[in-house]
Amino acid sequence: MDKSQPWRRVLFLALFVSFFFYSANIYTSGTALNGETAVSENVLHGQKLFRENNCWACHQIYGLGGYMGPDLTNVVANPELGPEYARMFIEEGTDRMPNFGFNQQDVDDLIAYLKHVGEAGNYNPKKGEITWYGTVKYER
């Protein structure tokens, strides 16, 4: 370093110190998401149950999944169906859908999860139109 220009030394030191604090801040600030994207414990537990019990093998969300049962995206949000309607299927099963033997908390959490999914948007597969080349043209 050029001894005739002491300000360079000061500048270097200032940058070095700022870099040190900046790095310390980056490495200790963690990776948590902000509150807006956080979902409740019940919704997360419902999602876990939905995955672990392979609901997706027979049902779809936004049209993706198995096709033995109906799409569940808006089953809880739909005023003609709703949480009590969904509860009936989840608690009792049918001759085609198994009764999983869930306890009350599990059923509540599955419904909380389906409600959360429904709040993300609307998907009504019956409104889809199959085009002549085989894709689904979906109008909201």
Instruction: State which residue, 43 or 86, has the beta carbon closest to ligand HEC.
Output: 86
Binding segment toward ligand HEC, per CB under 6 A, in 8-16, 29-37, 55-63, 130-138: 55-63
Pairing of strands 136-137, 129-130: antiparallel
Q: Which residues of 17-48 are buried (b: 16+ CB within 10 A; e: fewer)?
A: eeeeeeeeeeeeeeeeeeeeeeeeebbebbbe
69 binds ligand HEC (CB under 6 A): yes
Examine residue 96 and tell whether it contacts ligand HEC (CB under 6 A).
Answer: yes
Distance CA 94, CA 139 (A): 32
For ligand HEC, which residue of 13, 24, 39, 57 counts as binding (CB under 6 A)? 57
Of 19-27, 28-36, 82-90, 127-135, which part binds ligand HEC (CB under 6 A)?
Answer: 82-90
Residue 44 binding ligand HEC, by CB under 6 A: no
Q: 3-state DSSP call for residue 35?
A: helix
**Does the CA dihedral 16-17-23-24 come out positive or negative?**
positive
115 contacts ligand HEC (rule: CB under 6 A): no
Q: Which stretch binds ligand HEC (CB under 6 A): 16-24, 86-94, 121-129, 132-140?
A: 86-94
List the alpha helices (DSSP H) in the chain: 6-28, 41-52, 82-92, 104-119
Nearer to ligand HEC, 94 or 105 (CB): 94
Question: Residues in the site for ligand HEC, rule: CB under 6 A?
Answer: 50, 53-55, 57-59, 68-70, 72, 75, 81, 86, 89-90, 94, 96-98, 100, 110
